[in-house]
Amino acid sequence: MSSQSQSGLLHKYKGILFSSMSSEGLLDSLDSFDAREDDIFLVSYPKSGTHWVAEVIENIPNVGITLTSPIEWGDVSKFEELKMVPKRRVIPTHLSYEMIPRTVKQKQCKIVYVIRNPKDTAVSLFHYYRDNPNLPSPETWAAFLELFLKGDVVYGSWFDHVLSWEKHKNDKNVLFLFYEEMKKDFVKSLNKITDFLGFDVNDSDISKIARNTSFSEMKSNAVKENCDPNHTICALTSDRNLVFRKGVVGDWINYFTPKQRSAFDELFMEKMEHSDVGRCLKEYTNSDGK
């Protein structure tokens, strides 16, 4: 797996690993993307709950939006394709703040950033690497965790990604959502999303959205809608069956050895020492979240 970028599945761009699904030409041209003021960007590090939030937003009635495929999926023709979308666009991405197109920042487009306990994220990404033919398969969990801690995985270091966005956590056009909080109090999180996006929902809408976006419902829908290229939310695959695995909080406890846990905690302390997000996540990284 040390030759993961040589496998042709991944390539390095500005020191960060990307899937070959994101062409270098497209990554080079991100700043030529023409954002619209009403664009909504749905951002996260991979395996942090983006699909869930996308489904939630898609299930809000009468809002006239189109969920596009990720901005970094494909080649330069992507921007022409996005230009053709007539409705208000909801655009998913796993890009760090630095790589987000300039016009998105200039026009202060609404940005929803989804964040999840990095231990659960690491486990989820490990399974994704194993199951996704677009990613090199790791030999063992231990080998993968080492790469994850070094940031030698797709989209680079979880810590760098989160910290790049945390600097903008209080910008009025940015909403930070914690995956674990959504699991704990869905209605509260849904109200946060709809208030932020300026959408009206009533109680019956809320219970319908909760029903339609339960994990089991999304998983069975994924089977029905599989490989619909218009329903690609992840920049790493269009196979929706790969996307929904367990969706639980605290599964990391079944994977981390005590030694791995202390190595992870040490790095977390070092990197997130001055981070509010780190403080919020601490209860989930130190327990199984139950």
Active site members: 94
Distance separating alpha carbons of residues 129 and 207, to the nearest angstrom: 34
Kindly give, in sequence order, each residue whose CB lies less than 8 Å from that of residue 265, ignoring residues fewer than 6 positions away.
Answer: 285, 286
Beta-bridge mates of residue 115? 178
Planar angle of CA 194, 199, 203, nearest 5 degrees:
70
Within 10 A of 96 (CB to CB), how many other CB atoms are there? Answer: 20
For residue 151, which phi and psi values (nearest 5 degrees)?
75, 20
**What amino acid occupies position 135?**
L
Q: What is the secondary structure of 121-176 as a DSSP string?
A: HHHHHHHHHHH-TTSPPPS-HHHHHHHHHHT-SBTS-HHHHHHHHHTTTTSTTEEE
Could you tell me the two tokens for 265?
């905690």
